[in-house]
Structure 1
């Protein structure tokens, strides 16, 4: 579900909120989420903490389906400079993969697919080395 339009590389972000907003804007621009979904993602981190930083260097922001998810969607952002989310075990974050899903079942299935993808050896290093969105897509399809 990633497309050239939902991938942005070496995005400048001063902090975790800007990083999440950048990934969320891609979902909105693609028509996968309403603008309020971005606020939902930020609220989740503020309320529940940096649980979205699921492994060293990778954050997966998301919100509840009812907070503006229109359809299943993904965005991927690599950051120009890593930022701290407040997770002492997995900070700083270099890669932000936002997603939205219109219902709870799809939400859980999406998380499962992300875990499989991120469990591949060297995936984060390969994402950071990507020069273009097409490089990322080729990696995903390879």
Structure 2
């Protein structure tokens, strides 16, 4: 399981719309080998078909798709956008924190969601994610939550 490892974290991503933001987070998964480029496109397609249901909290999106769309290893990436962008969610727009989730099984999906929920339940952690300048700063937050 790759949960916000250094190679899955990027800051100040330029995104002109939700698709750009999803692709930025998906490219991190693909570059690490955790998922294929097809998985990134499946996340974009899911957004087109189902809308912004994965914008779970103010400013936070968790795009994902079915494992068979190209997940190689359970993983979560993090792309912080340079400027918040609207995803079309009634109450949680605009989004600046994008976590792409790739899970190979239901158990992996639940385990990663649990870890991410623990991290994001604390408003201080969300603020720290908005201010972090290094992957190590993000990883320090994760270690705190254990």
In the superposition, the TM-score normalised over structure 2's length comes to: 0.92
Per the TM alignment, residue 122 of structure 1 is displaced from its structure 2 partner at its CA by 2.1
Deviation beyond 4 Å, 4+ runs, structure 1: none
Does the CA contact (< 8 Å) of 1:32 and 1:69 recur in 2? yes
* Separation (CA, whole Å) in 2 of partners of 1:92 and 1:103: 30
* Separation (CA, whole Å) in 2 of partners of 1:122 and 1:42: 30
SS in 1 for 2:42: helix
Q: Choose which of 62, 65, 80 in structure 1 pairs with 2:64.
A: 62
* Separation (CA, whole Å) in 1 of partners of 2:68 and 2:22: 18
Per the TM alignment, residue 104 of structure 1 is displaced from its structure 2 partner at its CA by 2.1
* Separation (CA, whole Å) in 2 of partners of 1:2 and 1:116: 14
Does the CA contact (< 8 Å) of 1:65 and 1:104 recur in 2? no
In the superposition, the TM-score normalised over structure 1's length comes to: 0.95
Q: Which residue of 1 aligns with 2:118?
A: 116
Q: Which residue of 1 aligns with 2:29?
A: 27
Are 1:4 and 2:6 counterparts?
A: yes
Q: Choose which of 75, 79, 82 in structure 1 pairs with 2:77.
A: 75
**Which runs of no fewer than 5 residues in structure 1 stay unpaired?**
none
Q: Aligned ranges for residues 31-46 of structure 1 at < 5 Å?
A: 31-46=33-48
* Separation (CA, whole Å) in 1 of partners of 2:139 and 2:80: 14
CA-based RMSD: 1.1
* Separation (CA, whole Å) in 2 of partners of 1:111 and 1:136: 17
Aligned residues: 142
